[in-house]
Chains A and B, each alone.
Chain A
Amino acid sequence: MISFQKKELIIPYIILFIVMFLSVYPLLYMISVSLMTSGEASNQYLLPKVPRFENYIEVWSSNNFQQYTLNSIIISGLIVIGVLCTSIPAAYAFAKIQFPFRDVIFYSLLLSLMIPEIIALLPHLLIIRGNIFPLPFGPSWMNSLQGLTVPFFGNVFIIFLLRQYIKKIPNELWDAARMDGASHFYFLRKVVIPMSMPIIVTVSLFAFILAWNSFAWPLLILTKEDWFPVTVSIYSFIREAGTQYNLLMAASLISIFPVLLLYFFTQRLFLQSISNFGLKQ
């Protein structure tokens, strides 16, 4: 057996405690710095002498930070809704409906996962500026909510995950529903979606985190601050000369918080899907 005996279990515990410490240390340090005065922060103290919670209030009420956080929430929320609206029907169709070229289409979409984001970025920019073909809602999507969200409404990876799950729903259910005169849409809404709730929640979380993290794209298409998400605002904060680290860390912490909160509530599902996906890939 590769299992350890009772007495030796101390070794894995030690390993895990070290790893755990290293994993959370940057976050703890972030908290600690965010409570320091700017002098303490730039001298890299371990802990603040007196915790200054005012830093959070200062960050929260300054530099449009509330606006940026709200932007991030709106952008990520919209992307999650958009992705679910396109991906669930598509995944259902790829899993359960028979139509010509179904698998060919699916696998050629999967191939697009191979394409590095950085290559796509350039043509995206031209599309968004309306240089390639006319866009609905205005001549250009630069500096706009559409530009920030619509390109991310289709996600092959998410379709793939959903399809794997929906495939497991027995076909007999659909046969029975069709006998009763149900349409595909009705069946999808009443049976498939409720049954695949676990994966839908996971996938939404996944999409939300991805959207919350998005950085290169907003950095590229936003020239005005109106729609800055938190990532871009923190980046420009770092790049400013004489940044006050304590405020930077307070801002970072505030903007990590929603993600951590969501993760905390869905971690079991998240863990499961990671371990499943990694093996089936």
Chain B
Amino acid sequence: MSRIFSKYSEQINGYIFILPAFLIISLFGIFPVFFGMYMSLHKWKVFKGRFLGFENYQKILGDISSFWIFILGLLIMIASYWVWSEYKDKMKNSFYCFVVSSFILLISLYLINISWTNMMEKGDADFLNSLIYIFYYSFFAITTEVGLGLLIAFALYQKLKGKQFFQMILLFPYITPAVMGGAVFFIIFGKAENSILNEFIGLFGYDPQLWLFDKRKITEIMFGIKIEGFFAGPSLALLTSILYGVWSYTGYYAIILLAGLSIIPSDLYEAAKAEGATRWQTFIKITIPLLMPIIFFLLLTGFINSFQAFNHIMVMKTSSAGETMDVVTIEIFDHFWDRVKFGYAAAEGVVLFIILNVLAISQYVIFRKRLNYD
């Protein structure tokens, strides 16, 4: 017995070492997904009810086949990128490649459009809208965060005094707990006409706004045009919560981008200088191309992560903003906390999970070649 033990002690040790973590992670990390799928097939209000099959999904999506067409559309969209990136250098004339991939892109947009309209007609409009809202949130938040982060990273890259101090301050918002941060934003972006923010924008001649209490779409406020549907943009209330996201994550991305800037080998710059390149040329020809993979990567992972934004939106939500701040996580939480529809909420969760996985596939396709250049 003891001989067997000593022969396999290495393996046994390994398994014992990972056992506690493995148990907890599989129980609380992996098992819930499968159980969630199981729940979504049942009528489940606090306790398990009868088996429903795909009825919950039917109610959410209106028509399950349109959902698959929608997913197919997303996948084809990824495929169009793949065609473009794979063949643009291999073919002699990259114009044909461009035509083909944009044709594929058009097909995908068409599929997405018809399937989405179809779902909107028959399905749970609240849930589908919440997907649009989270798309707004993620898209606007992440592009602003990375864009501003890039600017800050360039500033920090210079030879400045007190760099460490600046970096420390920059991460303050990232550290601040979302509930407490949301509480301040809740006050700063309040509806009082004489609030600091409203007086500040008054200096530039703008009217006071209701911020978190305003459910009008941003296009309506800015340009005075009322449009329905996707292109109306987020409501002012949702935009304010996007501002919170920007406040809290910009510093974080700036730090990562700064690290990205500083691993660009300096001999490249020296070579460029020796060749007589201007600073602008160096920036366009060396810095941006070398930084591009990181920027792209941050945009994509950040986009996926933002889909899970919850805490601060929950805190900043006001009843006058109506459903325009009910992003998908809030919608799901609402369904099983307030309305105790567990099975339904689980089905919504599974739909979100599928969409996130498609996004993850796109991440894999785009980054299948490694990012490193060392």
Contacts and interface: CB of A to CB of B under 8 A. Distances in A.
Interface of A: 1-4, 9, 11-13, 15-16, 19-20, 22-24, 26-27, 29-30, 33, 41-44, 46, 85-87, 89-90, 92-94, 97-100, 102, 105, 108-109, 111-112, 114-127, 131-132, 150-156, 159, 183-185, 209, 212-213, 215-216, 219-220, 231, 234-235, 238, 245, 248-249, 252-253, 255-256, 259-260, 263-264, 267-268, 270-271, 274-276, 278-279, 281
A212 B30 CA distance: 23
A50 to B, nearest CB: 19
Given A90-B22, A238-B183, A184 B172 contact: no
11 contacts: A2-B269, A9-B158, A20-B166, A23-B251, A27-B176, A119-B349, A127-B27, A235-B314, A263-B171, A275-B258, A279-B259
A216 B311 contact: yes
Given A15-B155, A248-B187, 19 more contacts: A12-B154, A15-B151, A16-B152, A23-B247, A33-B187, A86-B20, A86-B24, A99-B14, A108-B30, A114-B357, A114-B360, A120-B29, A120-B32, A154-B23, A216-B311, A252-B183, A259-B175, A263-B171, A279-B259
B308 A118 contact: yes
Contacts of B147: none
A281 B15 contact: no
Contacts of B356: 114, 116
A123 B35 contact: yes
Given A15-B151, A44-B196, A252-B183, A97 B157 contact: no
Given A120-B28, A122-B345, A215-B178, A275 B195 contact: no
Contact of B28 (A22, A29, A124): A124
Contacts, number: 302
A44 B194 contact: yes
B21 interface: yes
| Interface size classification for chain B | 35 or more
A132 B178 CA distance: 32
Contacts of A213: 177-179, 311
A270 B40 CA distance: 40
A18 B151 CA distance: 12
A178 to B, nearest CB: 10
Chain A, interface SS category: helix
A2 B25 contact: no
Interface string B7-22: 0001101111110111
A123 B39 contact: yes
A42 B257 CA distance: 40
Interface string B158-177: 11100010111111110111
Nearest to A271: B167
